Amino acid sequence: MNKLRLAVFASHEGSNMQSIIDASKQDKLQAEVVCVISNNSSSGALKRAENEGIAFYHVSVKTHPIEKDFSDKILEILNLHKVDLIILAGYMKKIPVEILKAYRNKILNIHPALLPKFGGKNMYGMNVHQAVIANGEKKSGATVHIVDENYDQGKILNQIEVVVLSDDTPETLAQRVLEVEHKIYVETIQKIIDGSILLQ
Active site residues: 111
For β-strands 156-163 and 55-58, DSSP reports them as: unpaired
141 counts as binding ligand GRF under rule CB under 6 A: no
What is the per-residue DSSP string for 38-72? ES-TT-HHHHHHHHHT-EEEE-STTT--SHHHHHH
x-or-dash pattern for ligand GRF, window 144-173, by CB under 6 A?
------------------------------
From 56-64, 95-103, 104-112, 188-196, give the range in contact with ligand GRF by CB under 6 A.
104-112
Rg (CA), the chain: 16
From 54-62, 75-83, 106-114, 190-198, give the range in contact with ligand GRF by CB under 6 A.
106-114
Q: What minimum distance in Å lies between the beta carbon of 192 and ligand GRF?
A: 18
Residue from 4, 6, 9, 14 touching ligand GRF (CB under 6 A): that is 14
- Neighbour tally for 66: CB within 10 Å: 9
Q: What minimum distance in Å lies between the beta carbon of 111 and ligand GRF?
A: 6
13 counts as binding ligand GRF under rule CB under 6 A: yes
Q: Which is nearer to ligand GRF, 106 or 111 (CB)?
A: 111
12 counts as binding ligand GRF under rule CB under 6 A: yes
- Report CA torsion sign: 45, 199, 188, 5: negative
The secondary element (H helix, E strand) that includes residue 9 is: strand 4-9
Task: Say how far apart CA 25 and CA 9 lie, in whole Å.
Answer: 19
Q: Which is nearer to ligand GRF, 42 or 200 (CB)?
A: 42
Residues in region 173-192 near ligand GRF by CB under 6 A: 178, 181
Task: Say how far apart CA 175 and CA 115 lie, in whole Å.
Answer: 18
Burial class from Cβ neighbours inside 10 Å (0-12, 13-18, 19+) for residue 58 reads middle
Interface positions with ligand GRF (CB under 6 A): 10, 12-17, 89-90, 110-112, 178, 181
